[in-house]
Every structure is written in structure tokens, then in C-alpha cells.
Amino acid sequence: MNDQIPKDLRDFYESGRRLEYDPKKCAVGKVELYDLQSIKLVDFEVNSQHWAPWAAEDPHADEVGYYIVPALDLISKCEHYSPGGVLIYIPQLGVYGSFDDDHRTITYFPKIKFWSIVGDPIKYLSAQWRPKQSDFNPILNPVGVFPFQPGWDW
């Protein structure tokens, strides 16, 4: 088992519970979580561009490249969207979030445990598409925290 899996997520799996919600009300539709043993650390590439909210403090804002953010990818299948990054856990920061592979940004959920996600899956699964429905929704600023990789990789 991956030692970077947080206790709250491990406890959820061991409880035998599932994410229960109406997929018709969710931006991504029906999702399936990876089995606990199949969860892997994946490098997500966060854009570094002049339009990023943190551009003023980014020494790489005018460069072509991205920040590498390692995270546990939790969704194996997704009805209306590519599953990669729909729900992630960033061990280095101890937060859950969602990777937007179109814009190469991460919306993260500060101070949220997995049980909160279980209690309101639509709020978290739809966070990047429906930001007005959530009361957090910050975009991850990778500057000074994660390594920068010059060039394109997508």
C-alpha cells in the first residue's frame, strides 16, 4: 500500500463505503475510484503563464514550461470527462483537489478531509467547473513549492 495515502482516505476504503450521489447533478457524471492498491503518485503539470493568478510572483511567468505537482490520482473512470486528476490528493501539502487538464491548473480544498468529500461528492467533483457552488475553490500556486520544468510536455 502506498504510504502517502492519508489515514482518512484509507479509513474510507476500509469502511467499505462508496461515493453516493446523483451523477445527473454532477459536472463529471458518474465516477469510479481506483482500488486502494491501485492508487499511484502521478506528476501533474501546472501551467506557468502570464495569466496565472500568481504570475506577478512567478519568476517563470514569461517562460514556456510548467510546475510538476506530484499527487495521488483517485478517479479511475469518469463519465463526462477524462478521469486523470478529477480528484487528487497532494501529499506534500496534505490537501485534496482537482486538476484541470485543459487549463493545467489545480483547484484545491484546504482543511478538507475525505469524509467531507464523501458527505457532498458533487461539490468536490464539480468544483473546477462550478466554482460558485463551493465556498473555497482556491487555485494552487506552485511557485516556490514545486519544481519548474522548462518546455512543453503536452
**Average pLDDT, 10 consecutive residues per value, the chain (154 residues):** 87 94 94 95 85 80 89 96 95 95 87 94 86 67 93 67
The pLDDT assigned to 40 comes to 94
Q: Supply the DSSP string of 88-143, one letter for each residue.
A: EEETTTTEEEEEETTTTEEEEETT--HHHHHHSHHHHHTTTT-GGGSS--PBP--T
The pLDDT assigned to 1 comes to 46
The pLDDT assigned to 62 comes to 81
Distance CA 138, CA 130 (A): 13
The one-letter code for the residue type at 63 is E
Distance CA 89, CA 138 (A): 15
The pLDDT assigned to 143 comes to 92
Distance CA 4, CA 9 (A): 10
Distance CA 2, CA 147 (A): 22
Question: DSSP code of 64?
Answer: S
Residues sharing a CB contact under 8 Å with residue 3, sequence separation 6 or more, in sequence order: none
**pTM of the predicted structure, to 2 decimals:** 0.91
